[in-house]
Amino acid sequence: DTGVSQDPRHKITKRGQNVTFRCDPISEHNRLYWYRQTLGQGPEFLTYFQNEAQLEKSRLLSDRFSAERPKGSFSTLEIQRTEQGDSAMYLCASSPTGGELFFGEGSRLTVL
């Protein structure tokens, strides 16, 4: 049983660099979500895909953030010109239509 996988698990980068995270959802799930989580907080919604279409994006999301899901399979989340405030855990989750979220283990970003 393959769950949601995320890569890399940890990323340390310098301010101003670009980073990219990858998420492989459960294969039969058509929905894919990206969340950001900081210490002591609940997951904060970033964006959501149904198949390859990005249907919703948080208004709080800076234009330095971009996400793709080509062919409705894996997804990537890119952060350009990283800032220290971007340091967080980035969670990916997938779900079937109408179902609950299945989370990956997350990608922890540290911006120095």
Partner 1 sequence: AQTVTQSQPEMSVQEAETVTLSCTYDTSESDYYLFWYKQPPSRQMILVIRQEAYKQQNATENRFSVNFQKAAKSFSLKISDSQLGDAAMYFCAYRSAPGNQFYFGTGTSLTVIP
Q: Which residues bind partner 1 (CB under 8 A)?
A: 3-4, 31, 33, 40-45, 48, 50, 55-56, 91, 93, 100-106
Any idea what DSSP says for residue 73? S
What is the edge-to-edge ordering of all strands in the sheet holding 65-68? 5-7, 19-24, 75-79, 65-68
Task: Give the nearer residue to partner 1 in terms of CB position, either 3 or 8.
Answer: 3
Tokens of 28: 């039969």
Cβ neighbour number for residue 84 with a 10 Å cutoff: 9
| Minimum CB–partner distance for residue 16 and partner 1 (Å) | 28
Q: How far is the CB of 42 from partner 1 (least distance, A)?
A: 4
Contacts of 35 (CB under 8 A, 6+ apart): 43, 44, 45, 46, 90, 91, 92, 93
**Closest to partner 1 by CB, 56 or 83:** 56
Q: At its nearest, how many Å lie between partner 1 and the CB of residue 79? A: 21
CB of 54 to partner 1, least distance (A): 12
Our CB check for partner 1 shows the closer of 48 and 65 to be 48
